[in-house]
A and B are shown apart, each in its own frame.
Chain A
Amino acid sequence: MINLAARDILHGWGKFVFTGVGLGLLIGVTLSMAGIYRGLVDDGKALLAIGGADLWVVQRDTLGPYAEPSSVRDDAYRSLLGIPGVAAAGNVTYLTMQIEHARGEVRVMLVGFQPGHPGEPGYLVAGRPITRSHYEAIADMRSGLSLNERIRIRRHEYIVVGLTRRMVSSGGDPMLFVPLKDAQEVQFLKDNDALVNERARSAANPAFNRPGVPGLLEAVQASQTNSHQVNVVLLRLAPDADETRVAEQIRRWKHLEAYTRADMDEILVAKLIATSARQIFMFLVILSVVSATIVAFIIYTMTLNKVREIAVLKLIGARNRTIALMILQQALGLGVIGFIVGRTAAALWAPIFPKYVLLLPGDAVRGALLVLLICALASVVAIRAALRVDPAAAIGG
């Protein structure tokens, strides 16, 4: 027996391939959406890997520092170091901001860290670590900054001394590492006008400016301008320490929240990325429905154009099964072309996406199966129409 579906496709291949390519671009978009989701998860994992931390200590009752704002005093790390099992501690601040450089603007996550402590960028692809305590920066390649470039952040100029790769925030913004003190100043210090303003207001407040208490106003003003806050204290534990036990102790005695890597994973994926994931899922559903509609429509019109041939085939003794199989194979053929085009397109355009697109082979396999399933379902309408064709219709009325 010859393959009727293949012959029909070859006979009208122009229309078929054209439709297949259109379907393929849709599938490409779908695969890219899945890739963007995978990229988000992967970015999250990379984010957690950066500082070499085992525990994240944040403000009580918050999901900080990535999913919610968190503020911890920067001297807390000293008492944390006293807990058995804690090997190292590092203060870290995070602030997403817009910075200007020679060729324009870039959105970065400014990370303040203490060199030599948890939270420092582990691996540099170029340059050197920060050695001075001020105004040096390490930038992620994604930012577009280059080595020895000078950039202005608020009131000061920094020089880029090192470059990293794949160090981005959960939002996909490239990281810019600077010494903790500088970052604290950027994050918690106000600009000159605000400063003067605040001092004047404190001075005008009778509670702070009491005639009988000399030095009170100055003390209040000093505490306002000081910045002794960080967003998180990263802890590295001794090899034999039990992270959940240490976390439990921190919660009980230090009035702080402590998250293990598994906790952070859960927060990033289940909470922070959840909305994006739902959004992407919605797109997947819509794109699947659109693809199914296209396949159904094309296969249905192809079938309607063949009603007479189908009647003749039935009259001369073709089984219903033979005809249904022909239509099903055409739908699947459309799916195969679409998938190949889509997978290729997704791979080709992934690098030009602003966000990281991670195309997993497993997703491709799942996508292929889904495409074939959708095509099979879409062919049902056409198959039903074909089975209703009356062989008597071939004989004139």
Chain B
Amino acid sequence: MAQPAIEINGLAKRYGEGDAAVDALKGVDMMIQPGEVVGLIGPSGSGKSTLLKCLGAVIEPTSGRMALAGKAIYDNGWKVTDLRALRRDRIGFVFQAPYLIPFLNVTDNVALLPMLAGLPNSQAREQARQMLAALDVGHRTQAQVRQLSGGEQQRVSIARALVNEPPIVLADEPTAPLDSERALTVIRILNQMAQRFQTAIIVVTHDEKIIPTFKRLYHIRDGRTFEAAGEGRAA
């Protein structure tokens, strides 16, 4: 069997010290295969964002192990020296809101990532246009961000997360501001992209509308994860 895209064992994260210490993650175990879209659900304050930030290499866990495609990135300490390059090349991010850069047009919002990775502008833009086309917003490449509808903006932000073809994508409540139809569309897109690029996608959500779409779910409560089978209904 192929290497799991994401493998997490006994991950813990403590904020603060002494009396003020908060154990946000106490023992997280996860395993996600390439091309899989899993839901991560739990009540507010359960540690969802903390887990995403650890996996996204923007905060440092306290202990445990995280591996991407079989390679440890954290094992009671970072195993990668350049976390910035790790985020840029191997992790895609989708946020609650599109968070596009308002002063760049659609193409450059997406092309920025390959450019940051050192690709020449023309090549980066070509890559961006292809990804935008894959997300059905190929006709808006020259538009300014403010000219797009909310749904189009979310597609562009997904294109940005995928343009470097990272093995994993972390989506933080990506459907929160959307109505039911649009929310399901986003999930359908994420599923299609996971299939197409063999990306492992974790979707943090408490959105009842989309929970039934996941084949597999992780519940997180009080800093610990529990795996559950989902309904896997087509979005």
Contact = CB atoms under 8 A, between A and B. Distances in A.
Given A2-B115, A395-B170, 20 more contacts: A1-B116, A2-B111, A4-B103, A4-B104, A7-B108, A313-B101, A313-B112, A315-B87, A316-B113, A316-B116, A317-B84, A317-B85, A317-B89, A317-B116, A317-B117, A319-B84, A390-B58, A396-B95, A396-B96, A396-B172
Given A315-B93, A319-B84, A396 B101 contact: no
Contacts of B56: 315, 392, 395
Contacts, number: 76
Contacts of A397: 49
Interface string A385-397: 0000011101111
Contact of A308 (B59, B99, B103, B104): B99
A8 interface: yes
Given A316-B112, A316-B113, A396 B84 contact: no
B58 A2 contact: no
Nearest to B145: A11
Contacts of B99: 308-309, 312, 394
Most buried by A among B52, B84, B170, B172: B84
Q: 9 shortest A-B CB distances, which residue pairs?
A: A317-B88, A11-B103, A392-B58, A8-B103, A7-B103, A391-B58, A312-B99, A1-B115, A392-B53
A212 interface: no
Nearest to A2: B108
Contact of A395 (B52, B88, B115, B117): B52
Contacts of A4: 103-104
Interface in B98-120: 99, 101-104, 108, 111-113, 115-117
A33 to B, nearest CB: 36
A318 interface: yes
A10 interface: yes
B160 interface: yes
B116 A318 contact: yes
Interface residues of A, number: 26
B95 A395 contact: yes
B173 interface: yes
Interface string A357-397: 00000000000000000000000000000000011101111
Nearest to B163: A316
A317 B104 contact: no
Contact of B53 (A308, A322, A395): A395
A12 interface: yes
5 contacts: A2-B112, A2-B121, A309-B101, A316-B113, A322-B116
Interface string A288-319: 00000000000000000000110011111111
Contact of B102 (A11, A315, A390): A11
A314 B84 CA distance: 8
Contacts of A12: 103
B59 A392 contact: yes
Contacts of A394: 93, 95, 99
Contact of B87 (A2, A10, A317, A396): A317
Interface in B68-94: 84-85, 87-89, 93
A203 B59 CA distance: 105
Nearest to B118: A1
Contacts of A315: 56, 58, 87, 93
B173 A396 contact: yes
Most buried by B among A308, A390, A395: A395
B117 to A, nearest CB: 7
Contact of A396 (B49, B85, B104): B49
A322 B58 CA distance: 18
A312 B101 contact: yes
Nearest to B173: A396
A7 B53 contact: no
B116 A2 contact: no
B123 to A, nearest CB: 12
Contacts of B87: 315-317, 391
A309 B102 CA distance: 8
Contact of B104 (A2, A319, A392): A2
Most buried by B among A2, A4, A12: A2
Contacts of B101: 309, 312-313
Interface string A57-94: 00000000000000000000000000000000000000
A139 to B, nearest CB: 61
A395 B103 contact: no
Contacts of B104: 2, 4, 7
Contacts of B88: 316-317
Contacts of B95: 312, 394-396
A303 to B, nearest CB: 13
Contacts of B172: 395-396
Most buried by A among B99, B103, B104, B116: B103
